[in-house]
Amino acid sequence: MRRLGADVVEIPFIEIREPRSYRPLDAALKNIGGYDWLILTSVNGVDAVWNRVKKLRLNLKQLRHLKVAAIGAATKKAIEKRGIKVNVIPEEYVAESVVKSLRKNIAGQRVLLARAKVARDVIPTELRKLGAQVDVVEAYETVIPQTSRARLRALLKNPRSRPQVITFTSSSTVRNYMSLFERRRVRTTRSLHGIRFASIGPVTSATLREFGLPVHVEAKEYTIPGLIRAIAKPPRQP
């Protein structure tokens, strides 16, 4: 956005932390030979899994039998950077599209899904309905960065610094944003008058609407570059 001339203020709505215990993830990785599929839904998940692979001193050859699904282009790139082939990447970078991509090949397969502690259960629920055995393990957790509270409120209260656009890259960023800024929804909505809300995709947009917030911009491609293109596109004339 800066390259396009925007003045960008970065305030994190999510902080990535290690899980309370790596035991479930480590146990799954030690028995990786029993899995047919590995599903990773974020770059953070890729980083966490490969850090444990390195910590456990596992050989990369032990993972090469796996068929791998990545939820998006950035996740795919991060996996392939580690020397592992990605077999499936969905047309749309959302959980529902992952399930659709695997529908014909998943019955009777054993699947390892490594993800954040708190996440939507669409993938494991729907794949089990299709006959897969799915193990869900926590690779990392996301928490609310409390240090962002004062910065966010100060930014929005100052007429000179109030942003014209606020971006949201996941449902978690929406929920954490609301928690950081104001617990009372009505006051929050009034305080945000005149600001445009930009969403990375339909799932995030749905979460914004749950909180009574409008969606002015939604990316057609559910990636950061896609979100930037959507924001940069001139608004429609009434």
pLDDT score of 187 more than 70 = no
pLDDT at 184: 44
The reported pLDDT for the residue numbered 185 is 45
Exposure of 146 by Cβ count < 10 A (0-12 exposed, 13-18 middle, 19+ buried)? exposed
Q: By CB neighbour count within 10 A (0-12 exposed, 13-18 middle, 19+ buried), where does 26 fall?
A: middle
Mean pLDDT confidence for 63-88: 92
Whether 16-143 and 145-232 share one fold: the answer is: yes
In the chain, where are the structural domains located? 16-143, 145-232
Whole-angstrom distance, CA of residue 101 vs CA of residue 70: 11
At 191 the pLDDT is 59
Instruction: Find residue 217's DSSP bridge partners.
Output: 198
- Both tokens of 132, joined, read 């897969």
Amino acid at 219: A
- Alpha-carbon distance of 67 to 144, in angstroms, equals 34
What are the percentages of helix, strand and coil residues in the chain, rounded to 5? 45, 15, 40
CATH topology of domain 145-232: Rossmann fold (3.40.50)
pLDDT tier at 136, thresholds 50, 70, 90: very high
The CA distance from 13 to 176, in Å, is 6
The mean pLDDT of 54-80, rounded to a whole number, is: 92
Task: Give me the phi and psi of 134, to 5 degrees please.
Answer: -115, 125
Q: In the CATH hierarchy, which top-level class contains the domain 16-143? A: alpha beta
Q: Decide if pLDDT at 182 tops 90.
A: no
96-123 pLDDT tens trace:
888 888 988 899 999 999 998 877 788 8
pLDDT over 50 at 7, yes or no: yes
Alpha-carbon span 42 to 47, nearest angstrom: 9
Residue 113 token pair: 């899904």
Give me the mean pLDDT over the 79-97 stretch: 87
Quickly state the pLDDT bin for 91 (edges 50, 70, 90): confident
16-30, 89-103, 104-118, 120-134: least confident range: 89-103
Is 66:84 a contact under the CB 8 Å cutoff?
Answer: yes
pLDDT-derived band at 186, boundaries 50, 70, 90: very low
